[in-house]
């Protein structure tokens, strides 16, 4: 029997798992998109992104449900038709970019805190992803769900500690800075490129059976994915604007808190988010390939799954060694955002919405 969790909450937790390590787990992404308009303006931008996610994912999940599109090739055939290949090309660029950022962050996390060569973090991440994708959707769903719950607890504890140590600075900064310009554009831009990770969520939509479940799951996905980011944003406001110059703002705050046990626990959970993001994105590629095998009445060999994962990870990590995490986020994401809006959001709310309205399922 499909549980309430699988129908209403799992898609949101999977979506959060995909987007978090790509940027806001380290705080760098939050700085790039939400710091310019100030504390209050940044919060408004975050709410804009969260709202766009909820509305778009609700429509996306319902379209996936009625068309039984549980891999991205099938899904984008519904909205882009013969032009779905355009999305595949850009999506692969997105995956390489995101995993490059994750690899750079993982390396910096280990070397900055423990003096461990970054290659060991990379190898650990690659092996972990390889094991998860080898065993497929069931294990991946369990891992992403459990780790997301741990993440919620870690971020809640993190913001509570920050408020207890320098809460006066947080309150002062929220009161001192006016709402700046650009908060709506920041929210729109941030939401746009993160919606490109929709393909990584489709594999778990098969649990959803009704329109009510699809719409509710989509609407809940925005808050589920963004609440930890709100926690982090509030915590970072204690050292606004100087924290903007830090490549890993999370490390800066953990040093200020100076609670060694919590620092180690938080960084373990943070490292797990890197594994989450890479696993979900690579699993979406494996599911697309598995569907191609299925259309030929064949079964995708299981050994191919980890091989594909390691190949993609290796390619992306090589790129990460040549570019810093700040440059990857500030230069790479902005370019792709508007392409994804054209390829995902516009077709979904035109062709996709027409198919949803027409359907009586």
Please compute the mean of the pLDDT values over residues 70-95 and round it to a whole number: 87
Q: Is 273 exposed, middle or buried (0-12, 13-18, 19+ CB in 10 A)?
A: buried
H/E stretch holding 66 reads helix 38-67
CA distance from start to end of the chain: 21
Mapped onto helix, strand or coil, the DSSP state of residue 274 is helix
Lowest mean pLDDT among 16-25, 61-70, 307-316, 319-328: 319-328
**Annotation: CATH topology of 4-350:** Amino acid/polyamine transporter I (1.20.1740)
- pLDDT tens-digit series, residues 163-189: 999 999 999 999 999 998 899 998 988
- Residue whose C-alpha is closest to residue 54's, from 215, 203, 199, 228: 215
pLDDT of res. 223: 95
CA gyration radius, the chain: 20
- pLDDT tens-digit series, residues 189-222: 888 878 888 888 998 999 999 999 999 999 999 9
Q: What percent of the chain has pLDDT over 90?
A: 31
- pLDDT tens-digit series, residues 226-251: 998 898 999 999 999 889 888 778 88
- pLDDT tens-digit series, residues 258-310: 888 998 888 888 888 888 888 888 888 888 888 888 888 888 888 888 888 88
pLDDT at 326 over 50: no
């Amino acid at each position: 029997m499909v549980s309430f969790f699988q129908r209403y909450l799992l898609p949101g937790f999977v979506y959060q798992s995909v987007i978090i390590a790509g940027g806001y787990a380290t705080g760098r992404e939050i700085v790039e998109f939400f710091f310019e308009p100030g504390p209050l303006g940044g919060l408004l931008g975050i709410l804009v992104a969260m709202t766009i996610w909820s509305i778009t994912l609700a429509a996306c999940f319902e379209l996936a449900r009625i068309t039984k599109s549980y891999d991205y090739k099938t899904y984008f055939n519904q909205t882009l038709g013969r032009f779905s290949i355009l999305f595949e090309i850009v999506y692969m660029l997105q995956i390489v970019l995101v995993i490059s950022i994750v690899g750079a962050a993982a390396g910096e996390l280990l070397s900055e805190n423990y003096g461990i060569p970054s290659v060991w973090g990379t190898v650990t991440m690659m092996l972990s992803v390889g094991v998860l994708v080898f065993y497929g959707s069931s294990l991946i769903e369990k891992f992403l769900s459990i780790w997301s719950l741990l993440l919620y607890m870690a971020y809640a504890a993190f913001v509570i500690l920050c408020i207890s140590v320098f809460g006066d600075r947080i309150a002062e900064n929220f009161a001192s800075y006016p709402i700046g310009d650009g908060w709506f554009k920041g929210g729109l831009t941030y939401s746009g490129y993160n919606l490109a990770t929709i393909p990584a969520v489709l594999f778990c939509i098969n649990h959803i059976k009704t329109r009510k479940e699809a719409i509710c799951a989509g609407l809940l996905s925005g808050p589920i994915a963004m609440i930890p980011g709100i926690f982090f944003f509030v915590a970072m406001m204690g050292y606004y604007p100087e924290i903007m110059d830090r490549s890993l703002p999370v490390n800066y705050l953990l040093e200020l808190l100076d609670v060694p046990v919590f620092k180690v626990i938080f960084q373990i959970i943070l490292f797990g988010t890197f594994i989450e993001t890479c696993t979900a994105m690579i699993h979406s590629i494996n599911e697309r390939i598995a569907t191609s095998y299925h259309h030929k009445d064949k079964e995708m060999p299981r050994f191919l799954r980890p091989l594909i994962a390691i190949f993609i990870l290796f390619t992306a990590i090589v790129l990460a060694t040549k570019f810093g995490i700040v440059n990857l986020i500030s230069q790479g994401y902005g370019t792709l955002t508007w392409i994804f809006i054209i390829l995902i959001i516009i077709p979904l709310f035109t062709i996709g919405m027409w198919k949803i309205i027409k359907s009586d399922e």
